[in-house]
Amino acid sequence: MHYDDPSLLRPHDAYDGIYCLFFYDEYLKKLIYEIKGNMDTERLFPLAGLLLDKIRDVDFDHITYVPSTMIKRVTRGFNPARILAQELSAGKHIPLVRTLKRRKSVFTKDQKKSSKTVRFDNAAREFTLIPGIDLRGKRFLLIDDILTTGATINRCAGLLKSAGADLVYTAVIASGRRHEEEKEI
């Protein structure tokens, strides 16, 4: 089942829309852990293919991604969001542009163990734009692997918008946000 209808977009979200493959349930948690924990990048390629199918008829000027921390780049050896972005860029023939970076904090507290408020505070301090890139009037697809509280995606989308991006959509493998009609059940 695909989770990308408008009910996933909240009024305070900085991005304009979302493409999402699955609800972030126990199965997806295990899958993401296996990808990240076992450095199993091969499992990202079929997921990138599914995302590519979702965005096939949508036009963007650029694809960008949420950067990982230095410590995770070193210990894991890869950034899942970057691999997904590279695959979508190649599949759609849309330029991949590195627009965002993390500040120099090496010992960033693990977001998944933090409260929603702390996550938003951390994200506000953690991310910044790479200087010298003209974003004015451009339409972006921002890639990350998981959307939970939305702190990271919102900060990154907000930075792109504040620099003049006209439209920012995001694409993720899974979201912890449920459809509105599912919450009522």
Residue 38 CA to residue 15 CA, distance in Å, equals 31
Q: What is the pTM of this model?
A: 0.84
pLDDT averaged over every residue in the chain = 84
Q: Which amino acid is at 39?
A: M
**Whether pLDDT at 27 is above 90:** yes
> Quick one: tokens of 153?
């995606």
pLDDT in tens, 38-70: 888 999 999 999 999 999 888 999 999 999 888
Q: Is 21 helix (H, G, I), strand (E, B) or coil?
A: strand
- Identify the DSSP state of 96: B
Q: What is the pLDDT of residue 110?
A: 58
**Domains in the chain, start-ordered, CATH in brackets?**
15-177 (3.40.50.2020)
> Beta strands of 46-152 (E only): which ranges?
62-65, 100-102, 127-129, 139-143, 146-147
Band of residue 79 on the pLDDT scale cut at 50, 70, 90: very high
**pLDDT tens track for 94-140:** 999 999 998 765 445 555 566 656 655 666 678 889 999 999 999 99
